Amino acid sequence: MKFLDEAKVYVASGAGGNGCISFRREKFIEFGGPNGGDGGKGGDVIVEAVDGLNTLIDYRFQQHFKAERGVNGMGKDRHGANGNDIVLKVPAGTQIYEEDGETLIADLLAVGDRITLAKGGNGGFGNAYFKSSTNQAPRHANPGQPGIELTIRLRLKLIADAGLVGLPNAGKSTFLARVTAAKPKIADYPFTTLHPQLGVVRVDDREFVLADLPGLIEGAHEGVGLGDRFLGHTERCRVLLHLVDGTQDDAAAAYKTVRGELEAYGNGLEDKPEIVALSKTDSMTPEQIKKQLAKLKKACGKTPFTLSSATGAGVTDVLRELFKIVGKATKTETAKTKQPATWQP
């Protein structure tokens, strides 16, 4: 399935049905009086987070959604039926923005979160509604209220406990394949990962979700390479695992490049807890490992881990450290933001 994390959608709620002007006409009943029914209410536009989805691909081929119009009222006091609502199903973690792409309407974090984006128009009153002792034969009725039309932007941010960052070919996909059942593309050339990958890690009978993101290069925040458009998926992560390829010339420079892109992107990524690990140690001599570790420690200000995804050496220690931070996440960080039941454009 193709991965799509942004979509622009036009939605419209249903208009209300018109009220009816009608009079009771039966044999031998000279003054039957008004009996026009009310129009039905138009359908609402609802967005709901559902289980089983992890992409917005459904909104690539259909971008227009309209709720059903209310049925007009009829004679003999028959009210029109309400129009059916239309429900847009999205993955958990989807944000809804106004057309400008900056004004946040709602953030659907958990399965079952829903919001009414556009309420349908009310149905008009039939002439039976207006009868009174002083107006026994009203000859007017209300039209139905119009629906609401708006354009929204859907933006998916995957929900993962930990995120993998690093330069291309740092061993992120190999690490994900080693610790989860995910099957990411692995090759000896850069940018093999073109979209985020998710996997469930199990360590010491405990589980957490790990996200592998496409590699960053210098200038990614300006659109170089694949750019930083996928960094939004790490905003929900509680901890970052920064993998640095130990086989390259300068591990410290590689670390600083990625950290610079995280800081340029902002949105709190630079402040997230970070675990730094020197990868591909199976292809290095002890002297090379010692030299690269010294450079990396000086650059990041902490003692890095060493691991080899190919042999599994050091992987368990890194996973335990990741879970230690994931488990310490406060309830306020993981608490679901209460969504408004409706939104008024």
Both 82 and 228 in one domain: the answer is no
Choose the final residue of a domain: 128, 156, 184.
156
Count Cβ atoms below 10 Å from residue 103 Cβ, excluding itself. Answer: 10
Task: Answer yes or no: is 342 within a domain.
Answer: no
89, pLDDT greater than 90: yes
Q: Tell me, what DSSP letter sits at residue 222?
A: G
Examine the domain organization and report whether 58 and 151 are in the same domain.
yes
Q: Given a cut of 60, is residue 189 above it in pLDDT?
A: no
Same domain, 168 and 120: no
**How confident is the model at residue 52, as a pLDDT?**
81
For residue 168, what pLDDT is reported? 82
Is residue 39 predicted with pLDDT exceeding 80?
yes
Cβ-count burial 197-220 (b if 16+ within 10 Å, e if not): bbbebeeeeeebbbbbbbbbbeeb
**Is 344 within a domain?**
no
As a whole number of angstroms, the distance between CA 144 and CA 73 comes to 10
CATH number at residue 184: 3.40.50.300
Q: Is the pLDDT of residue 334 over 50?
A: no
Q: How confident is residue 266, by pLDDT bands cut at 50, 70 and 90? A: confident
Q: Choose between 15 and 265: higher pLDDT.
A: 15
Which residues participate in the annotated binding site? 166-173, 191-195, 212-215, 279-282, 308-310
On whether both 170 and 84 belong to a single domain, the answer is no
Same domain, 237 and 174: yes
Strands 162-165 and 64-66: unpaired
Assess if residue 60 is contained within a domain.
yes
pLDDT of residue 44: 95
**Residue 10's domain is classified under what CATH number?**
2.70.210.12
pLDDT, mean of residues 101-119 = 89
**CA-based radius of gyration for the chain:** 29
Last residue of one domain, picked from the residues 156, 184, 200: 156
Which range in 82-86, 165-169, 298-302 is most confidently predicted, on average pLDDT? 82-86
pLDDT at 47 over 80: yes
* Rounded CA separation 103/84 (Å): 28
Q: How many structural domains is the chain composed of?
A: 2
Q: Are residues 140 and 40 in the same domain?
A: yes
Residue 340 lies in a domain: no
Question: Which among 274, 325, 281 is positioned nearest to 299, based on CA atoms?
Answer: 274
Same structural domain for residues 17 and 128?
yes
Q: Are residues 98 and 167 in the same domain?
A: no
% residues pLDDT > 90 (the chain)? 29
H/E segment holding residue 89: strand 86-91
> Does residue 190 have a pLDDT over 60?
no
* Averaged pLDDT, 109-116: 89
Residue 16 to residue 31: CA distance in whole angstroms: 30
β-pair type (197-203, 206-212): antiparallel
Q: Scanning the structure block, which residue is given the tokens 């993962």?
A: 160
CA-CA distance, 157 to 42, in Å (whole number)? Answer: 32
Report the pLDDT value the prediction gives residue 122, as an integer from 0 to 100: 94
Judged against a pLDDT cut of 60, whether residue 335 lies above it is answered with: no
In degrees, to the nearest 5, what angle opens at C-alpha 284 toward C-alphas 280 and 286? 125
pLDDT, the chain, mean = 83
pLDDT of res. 125: 95
Tell me the per-residue pLDDT of 269-326, one tens digit each, with 9 for 90 and over.
778 888 888 888 888 888 888 888 888 888 888 888 888 888 888 888 888 888 888 8
181/122 same-domain check: no
Same domain, 152 and 183: no
The lowest-confidence range among 73-87, 156-170, 226-240, 294-308 is: 226-240
Residues 167 and 66: their CA atoms lie apart, in Å, by 44
Residue stretches of the annotated binding site for Mg(2+) = 173, 193
Mean local confidence (pLDDT), 102-121: 90
Contact (Cβ atoms closer than 8 angstroms) between residue 47 and residue 90: yes
If we measure between CA atoms, which residue out of 41, 9, 46 comes closest to residue 150?
A: 9
Residue 95: give the domain boundaries: 6-156
Q: In the chain, what is the straight-line distance between the N-terminal and C-terminal CA atoms, in Å? A: 33
Q: At what angle do helices 286-300 and 251-265 cross, to 10 degrees?
A: 30
Q: Are residues 223 and 251 in the same domain?
A: yes
In a domain, 285, yes or no: yes
**Residues 99, 191 within the same domain:** no
For residue 268, is pLDDT > 50? yes
In a domain, 120, yes or no: yes
Q: 195 lies in a domain?
A: yes
Structural domain ending residue among the three candidates 156, 179, 207:
156
Q: Does residue 113 lie within any of the structural domains?
A: yes
Which residues 6+ apart lie within 8 Å of 34 measured at CB?
Answer: 21, 22, 23, 24, 126, 127, 128, 130, 131, 137, 138
What is the DSSP code string of 264-287? HH-TTGGGS-EEEEEE-GGGS-HH
Q: Token digits for 248? A: 């390259």
Annotated binding site for GTP: 166-173, 191-195, 212-215, 279-282, 308-310
Residue 152 near residue 99 (C-beta atoms within 8 A): yes
